[in-house]
Structure 1
Amino acid sequence: MTVTRAVPMGCGHHLPDRVVENAEFAATLDTTDEWIRSRSGIERRHFAAKDEKTSDLAIPAAERALKAAGLEASDIDAIVLATATPDETFPATATRVQQAIGMRSGFAFDIQAVCAGFIYAVATANSLIVSGQAKTVMVIGAETFSRILDWTDRSTCVLFGDGAGALILTAEQGAGTLTDRGVMSVKLHSDGDHHDLLYVDGGPSSTGRAGCVRMQGQKVFQHAVNKLAAVAHEALDDIGATSADVDWMVPHQANSRIIESTARKTGLPMEKVVMTVQNHGNTSAASIPLALSETVAAGRIAKGDLLLMEAIGGGLAWGAAVMRW
């Protein structure tokens, strides 16, 4: 029995030029490089310039993904862009990317699930491809979280960074077995009861301003480890796979302790875990495609490798995807 799979064609990423080391925060906050590293694993992050928008990061990532895939913009049927920091309230930032890369047909739209946004976007792209609505879809995670940080709150402002990553998926026929390339399983969850654990205290219909990130860090940590490990097993179980079948876990890059704890509960050694949080900080929806693109570019992920991707963010919203590269 043949099935339609959403198969990865190529990926790309982009980071702003400005690199901010931990020591820079010590000048204005009661913090140190050691304090930040010990609690998050973060050493540095990139911040967008004053005139850089989320689309300005997404566009070069999209162009690099097209080059890696050997495709033209005209080959793309849809763009699904995950972001919590769009250029404008509307229209979708994805349409700016569509115009900039020269994509003159198809459709483009944004999706918002904060740090879980990329997993939600992959699920959406997979559904478009499997249903026949689109053949080739570009999935982008892009953020300028530096725009919504409270620079007096050391518990949040030192954790986040800006960046973008893009992945192109296309329809191919598979045998319906675990050896197929492409997206094999995606599992999504949310629970609005935990809204107050991680949110932004602003918005068009509530305050009329963008607002700033607010987080109860310890409670988020506890939920993250348990929920991420559970959804990872759920996605693997769905296709009859186990952690032993996974070649690489590409997790949301929020905090090294969350990543390490989740890996243990999932049954994966750290040798199989992609870790870039030390250089990027938490780039929300951009973190998984950024980490994926860097690792592919370094030649560490090979064709045929089975990838487990997972993320959790405000909402709370979380999910996992299993994909063979």
Structure 2
Amino acid sequence: MQKLGIAFTGSGSAVPETSLDNQALTALVETSDEWITTRTGIRQRRVSLSLGSLTELAAAAGEKAIVAAGIQATDLDLILLATSTPDDLFGTACKVQAQLGATKAVAFDLTAACSGFVFGLVTAAQYIRTGVYQNVLLIGADILSRWVDWQDRKTCVLFGDGAGAVVLQAAESDRLLGFALKSDGTLNHQLNLGYAASPQELLPGINISQGTYQPITMNGKEVYRFAVQKVPEIIDKALFEANLTVEQIDWLVLHQANQRILDAVAQRLEIPEQKVISNLANYGNTSAASIPLALDEAVQQGKIKPNDIIAASGFGAGLTWGAAIFQWGR
């Protein structure tokens, strides 16, 4: 009998060694530890040094997840890399595949910014549920320090670098209980890492554009308002799909953007504080890495145990948002 359910069999994470605390940022911009902490909950973040690569970070997280799942890299059928900051604009997942030695796996990048891990989870699930692939490595990884304007105090205090990964395997029982995904391109301008160029005359009458991507820009108030309104709604929708109530959730694992957002979403859903996983004080906003990084840390600490029900939700640029309800373990 073909297995068409999904099991969550292993997790892993990796962060750069270099830490940048709030006090250090006061040398770059006019700010203070108190200002950053009270508004965001962030105390420090990890930054990848100039020789660091997304490939290495993603592969390190992936390797730990593979070991935790009790399989070999050669068992993998698919590697999905959720990232907005690839080493190569053509894609970095294949470099991760090579580094892991996952010779059988097809690999590709998926870009949905801070929603990337949840979107990747749902994408991976379709391949497993249709019987196409049995063993999938999903990695969320970003090096946002490459694209932060370190003179912009509205954004430079928020972001950090990291990677997290989960192994999904075909199983007889299905542990992805429900999900919902949404996008609204009319709000795209609120959060950007945009391409900017100047015209260049290639030949008479033929002007092309050449340039590069510009640092992250964000309308913090609007993104906050969007998250606090939309995230509880999408979690409710995913719970409805799962035929579960809020009371049945063991852990809420949100994209780690801002402690005020985490608190507001939990309050709206009436989820007690002790059920909310938060590690952004140590890592800041790591975009697609934030959910699997927080998830893996909670697994390592023995908080998240087999059979626990997790509500995960990502939200961010696009604008995109989504939620997945799943049961940890085999």
| TM-score bracket for the superposition, by shorter chain length | over 0.9
Residue 6 of structure 1: how far off its partner (Å): 1.4
- Could you list the structure 1 runs, at least 4 aligned residues long, displaced by more than 3 angstroms after superposition: 203-207
Give the whole-Å Cα distance in 2 for the aligned partners of 1:299 and 1:52.
Answer: 30
Residue 14 of structure 1 corresponds to 14
Match of residue 194, structure 2, among 172, 189, 201: 201
SS of residue paired to 1:311: strand
Q: Which residue of 1 aligns with 2:111?
A: 112
1:189-228 matches, within 5 Å, as: 189-202=182-195, 208-228=211-231
Deviations 1:142-168 (A, max 9, x none): 000000001110000110000000000
Letter in 2 for 1:94: A
Is the Cα contact below 8 Å between 1:82 and 1:141 reproduced in 2? yes
Residue in 2 aligned with 1:80?
Answer: 80
Quote the Cα distance in structure 2 between the aligned partners of 1:121 and 1:77: 15
**How do residues 1-325 of structure 1 correspond to structure 2 at under 5 angstroms?**
4-90=4-90, 92-174=91-173, 182-202=175-195, 208-325=211-328
Report the CA distance between 1:208 and its aligned residue: 2.7
Which 5+ residue runs of structure 2 have no aligned equivalent?
198-207
Q: Secondary structure at the match of 2:211?
A: coil
Output the CA distance in 2 between the equivalents of 1:195 and 1:206: 22
1:203, distance to aligned residue in structure 2 (A): 6.3
Q: 1:27 aligns to what SS in structure 2?
A: coil
Distance 1:203 1:173 in 2: 49
TM-score, length basis structure 2: 0.94
Q: What do the CA deviations read for 1:3-33 (whole angstroms, capped 9, x no partner)?
A: 8221101000000000000001111211000
Distance 2:24 2:237 in 1: 41
Q: Write the deviation string for residues 136-195 of structure 1: whole angstroms up to 9, x where unpaired.
A: 100000000000001110000110000000000001012xxxxx5x21112110000001
Aligned letter for 2:272? Answer: P
- Does the CA contact (< 8 Å) of 1:40 and 1:255 recur in 2? yes
RMSD, matched Cα: 1.4
Distance 2:85 2:52 in 1: 12
**Equivalent-residue separation in structure 1 for 2:308 and 2:62 (angstroms):** 23
CA distance in 2, matches of 1:169, 1:183: 10
Per-residue CA deviations over 1:187-225 (Å, capped at 9, x if unaligned) read 110000001110113269976312110000001000001
Instruction: In structure 2, give the amino acid aligned to 1:185.
Output: G
**Taking structure 1 as reference, are residues 250 and 206 closer, same or farther at Cα in structure 2, changes over 3 Å only?**
farther
The worse-fitting range, judged by mean Cα deviation, of 208-217 and 9-18 is 208-217
Q: Is the 8 A contact 2:160 2:285 kept in 1?
A: yes
Q: Are the aligned partners of 2:257 and 2:280 in contact in 1 as well (CA < 8 Å)? A: yes
CA 244–151 in structure 1, closer or farther in 2 if over 3 Å, else same: same
Does 228-237 or 265-274 show the bigger shift? 265-274
**In structure 2, do the counterparts of structure 1 residues 136 and 37 end up closer, same or farther at CA, with 3 Å as the change threshold?**
same
Q: Aligned partners of 2:105, 2:30: CA distance in 1, in Å? A: 50
Q: Distance in 2 between matches of 1:135 and 1:158?
A: 40
Residues 266 and 88 (structure 1 numbering): CA distance in 2 closer, same or farther, change over 3 Å? same
Q: How many residues align?
A: 317
CA distance in 2, matches of 1:285, 1:266: 23
Letter of the aligned partner of 2:25 in structure 1?
A: F
Amino acid at match of 1:189: K
TM-score, structure 1 normalization: 0.95
2:212 partner SS: coil
Percentage identity across aligned positions? 40
- Residue pair 1:76, 1:138 contacting (<8 A) in 2 also: yes
Partner of 1:177: none
Instruction: Give me the whole-angstrom Cα distance separating, in 2, the residues matched to 1:130 and 1:276.
Output: 32
* Alpha-carbon contact 2:65-2:166 (below 8 Å) kept: yes
